[in-house]
Amino acid sequence: MDTVTSADGTTIAYEAAGSGHPIVFVGGAFNDHTRLAPLAGALAGDFTVIGYDRRARGQSGDTRPYAVQREVEDLAAVLEVAGGPAAVFGYSSGGVLALHAATTVPITHLFLYEAPFGLAPAADLADRLEALIRQDRPGDAVALFQTEAIGLPPQMVEQIRRSPMFPALEAIAQSTVYEATLNSQYANLTPAMSAVDVPTLVLTGADTWPALVAAAKSVPNGRHVEVPGAENHDIPVPETAAIIREFLTVNNP
């Protein structure tokens, strides 16, 4: 992967491919750039696609203290790599970050896939997560985030804790603090976020969680599109890529 330096000196790792109008992909909780790599790859024949590791995950660094503005600056640094204003695809909480960033950062188009608008976690969740990490209990922090922020049932969380994937989640437990901070501050749309007027698609799977459909419909300047073949917060690559391709073609990137 290549790297770019954010405004506070943090190294942000990214991967670029393709050519044409740029699209930057912003992952959600527990995601590094690989989560959206299949979708990016499906679009690389028509566009320049750039996926990056948000701070505190993957190959990116992590400079304290955290503030949501630091993540906006990270995205801005990646947009500079793209050569200027670009389309941004935000998945889950990455959609919250993308819409908030669009209030100050030049973005040409927005694709917000199942962002949890209106589903802000408890205001003190970030502090409780930070306390667990300081006590060297990253696994408990991951589990707390999964139950309170994502809403997974406790029995499912226990199954995840026993799975081979759990050590990788523990390794990025610090990012749960940042996710909780972002969503507690911006999952409820600010006036500036509601006023963003760039061409915006708000995407949800045909069989996703009803709360995420309601969240999508709460974005005042976004057009809601249902993605066929998608369920349980997943992204069907061919169908989603086709929607993005058509939208960018019609809206003249």
Q: Which helix (H) or strand (E) holds 205?
A: strand 200-207
Model confidence band, residue 253 (pLDDT cutoffs 50, 70, 90): low
Handedness of CA 161, 179, 84, 217 (dihedral sign): positive
Residues 151 and 208 grouped into a single domain: no
Residues 135 and 196 grouped into a single domain: no
Range of the domain at 68: 2-118+188-250
What b-and-e string marks burial along 68-83, b requiring 16 or more CB atoms within 10 Å of the CB? bebbbbbbbbbbebbe
119-150 pLDDT, tens digit each: 999 999 999 999 999 999 999 999 999 999 99
Name residue, tokens 């590094």. 32
Beta carbons within 8 Å of 108's beta carbon, 6+ residues apart: 21, 85, 86, 87, 198, 199, 253
Q: What are phi and psi of 49, to 5 degrees?
A: -115, 135
What total number of domains does the chain contain?
2
Residues 132 and 29 grouped into a single domain: no
Residues 243 and 141 grouped into a single domain: no
Residues 87 and 134 grouped into a single domain: no
- Is residue 48 within 8 Å of residue 20, measured between CB atoms? yes
Residues 193 and 174 grouped into a single domain: no
Predicted confidence at residue 252, as pLDDT, reads 73
Residues 113 and 135 grouped into a single domain: no
196-238 pLDDT, tens digit each: 999 999 999 988 989 999 999 999 999 999 999 877 899 999 9
| pTM exceeds 0.75 | yes
Nearest to residue 89, comparing CAs of 134, 12, 144, 24?
A: 24
Pairing outcome for strands 22-26 and 11-18: unpaired
Residues 37 and 132 grouped into a single domain: no
Q: How far apart are CA 186 and CA 172, in angstroms?
A: 22
Nearest to residue 111, comparing CAs of 47, 32, 16?
A: 47
- What is the chain's mean pLDDT, rounded? 96
Mean pLDDT of all residues in 169-176: 98
Model confidence band, residue 189 (pLDDT cutoffs 50, 70, 90): very high
